[in-house]
Structure 1
Amino acid sequence: MMRRELELFFNALRYFTRLPVPAWVGWSTDIMNACARWFPAVGLLVGAVAAAVLWVTGQWLPAALAVVLSTAATLRLTGGFHEDGWADVCDGFGGGWTRDQILTIMKDSRIGAYGAMGLVIMLAAKMVALSSMPLASAMLALLVAHPVSRLCATVLIFTMRYARDEDPDGVSRAKPLAVRLSGGGMVWAALCGLAPLALLAPWQIVAVIALAVLATVAAARHFQRRIGGYTGDCLGATQQLAEVAVYIALCMRPG
């Protein structure tokens, strides 16, 4: 049982980061179907790396530059996986009028004007929000935002239909991840994603949950209305929106 769960975790780690995994870790569609429960746990690791880089660089450099280097470290660690999804969604939903147009544009590996603008705004929002916080608060924000935002993306897998299930010929286009989680898997994902909230003050917990839920629901409703479900790019976009929502929540002051 323990070996199975480790295999699922390492597959999630391999899929969402550039980190190496042990040679004994196998791969199959079934494994990828089951490893979605570990996505928020991968976020815990990414957030810890980002916070560590921020702490080290923040001892010697101005806060804004330390935040830039911390952000660069997460991009290197993840390969910009979710940021790429956000850019594709900006291009697809910005330039497409019909469902088929949107899906076709999102499949294009080239970045367009909407994607470039969206990516610049997203990265700027992250870095400005983190730079506005004291160093310790920014580290805490990273530890919270990465798992919480990945939980928000996981919720879409649990609750929505995969938009590319079938092409006009009826051939399945579903990626290995595009399955609904079991109830138990969703509970475990929630535990991993919400655990860092214990580090926050009560009012901060309320603010984080409220804005993360708002961002997730707004994204999900938009995806459902325009394309009838979600794609992998939509998951990345949801993660990015929820991550920024958490930073905004932690920039707020009571009263």
Structure 2
Amino acid sequence: MSVLRRQLQLFLCATQFLTRVPTPALKDFEPDWISRSARYFPLVGLLVGLVCAAAFAGASQLWSGWLAALLAMAAGVLLTGAFHEDGLADTFDGLGGGGTPERRLEIMKDSRIGTYGALALGLVLSLKAAALAGLSPSLGAWALACANAGGRGAAVLAMRVLPYVGYLERGKWKPAPSGLSTPEMLFALVFAGLPLLLAPSPAWAMGLLLGGGLALTLALSARRLLGGYTGDVLGAIEQMFELGFLLAVAASPSILGLLARP
């Protein structure tokens, strides 16, 4: 198999795993391809973010504020099948409802959503929509591209530094994720940082700080309460990065104004 063909197959594998986008069947598929395709998770996230950005910019020509924001978020949910949002709800149910790592993992595998999961899902989606609603079409579109690519980059970083603790027989990721190499991680981070090259203001630095801070907080909580990560935890990390990035970008004009005062 040529190098180019293998990379294309890995990209298609990442697209199949993270989205509902129709893709060609993968011939000679090997289960380990899912782990190896993690290098392309941020690129898939960037493409999802660009679709959301186009939806936001287009909807902003007809509506402003909440309607445009919700339509952009709906586009992302349709593309991914709420893959990461499901992980967010399951993770908060498990972290909030169990007394031991084993019990928390059991709760996370329950298909029913609980109080902690419902609250986390509702609050995160509402906060993201509210932050996005206050942005101009151009700034909001850029922020969506950055948040989606960066969120998947944060998930790849978690894969690199945390052990996998999910249930193999019932996990969404089979076989268990195998070790992610440093070159694979760095390859992924290049794609995660691509939209930052078009940064319209210093907002990108604030977005990275708050988005990375929220993602890191959840990763550390998962390490303490579960012993590592699961597929659901990666989804939650991605969502927390998105939330932090959008909140920071929305707050950046006010923060920069305060810093500019004598």
1:61 to 42, 50, 63: 63
Q: In the alignment, is the contact (CA less than 8 A) between 1:10 and 1:25 conserved in 2?
A: no
Deviation sequence 1:108-137 (CA, Å, 0-9, x none)? 011111111111101101100000111111
Report what 1:43 is aligned to: 45
Instruction: Name structure 1 gaps, 5 residues minimum.
Output: none
| Alpha-carbon distance between aligned partners in 2 of 1:113 and 1:165, rounded to the nearest angstrom | 23
Report what 1:205 is aligned to: 204
1:137 to 136, 139, 146: 139
| Alpha-carbon distance between aligned partners in 2 of 1:31 and 1:21, rounded to the nearest angstrom | 15
> TM-score by structure 2 length?
0.91
| Alpha-carbon distance between aligned partners in 1 of 2:201 and 2:138, rounded to the nearest angstrom | 18
- Residue 230 of structure 1 aligns to a residue in which SS? coil
Report what 2:230 is aligned to: 231
The answer as to 2:29 corresponding to 1:27 is yes
Report what 2:87 is aligned to: 85
Q: In the alignment, is the contact (CA less than 8 A) between 2:206 and 2:248 conserved in 1?
A: yes
Higher deviation after alignment, 121-130 or 51-60: 51-60
| Alpha-carbon distance between aligned partners in 1 of 2:55 and 2:75, rounded to the nearest angstrom | 7
Q: In the alignment, is the contact (CA less than 8 A) between 1:165 and 1:174 conserved in 2?
A: no
- Residue 75 of structure 1 aligns to a residue in which SS? helix
2:130 to 121, 128, 131: 128
Q: What letter matches 1:187 in structure 2?
A: L
Deviation (angstroms), 1:173: 10
Matches within 5 A, 1:232-251: 232-251=231-250
| Alpha-carbon distance between aligned partners in 1 of 2:153 and 2:185, rounded to the nearest angstrom | 9
Q: What letter matches 2:52 in structure 1?
A: A
Gap change, CA 1:26 and 1:211, over 3 Å in 2? farther
Report what 1:147 is aligned to: 149
Deviation sequence 1:172-224 (CA, Å, 0-9, x none)? 99733622211111111010001111111562232122122212221121111
- Residue 29 of structure 1 aligns to a residue in which SS? coil
Q: What letter matches 1:131 in structure 2?
A: A
Instruction: Name structure 2 gaps, 5 residues minimum.
Output: none
Deviation sequence 1:212-251 (CA, Å, 0-9, x none)? 2212221121111111100111000000000011101211
Deviation (angstroms), 1:80: 0.2
Q: What letter matches 1:192 in structure 2?
A: F
Q: In the alignment, is the contact (CA less than 8 A) between 2:95 and 2:222 conserved in 1?
A: no
Identity between Structure 1 and Structure 2 (%): 37
> TM-score by structure 1 length?
0.93
Report what 1:180 is aligned to: 179
Name segments (4+ residues, structure 1) moved above 6 Å.
Answer: none
| Alpha-carbon distance between aligned partners in 2 of 1:223 and 1:175, rounded to the nearest angstrom | 20
| Alpha-carbon distance between aligned partners in 2 of 1:150 and 1:159, rounded to the nearest angstrom | 15
Deviation sequence 1:73-126 (CA, Å, 0-9, x none)? 111110000000000011111111111110000000111111111111011011
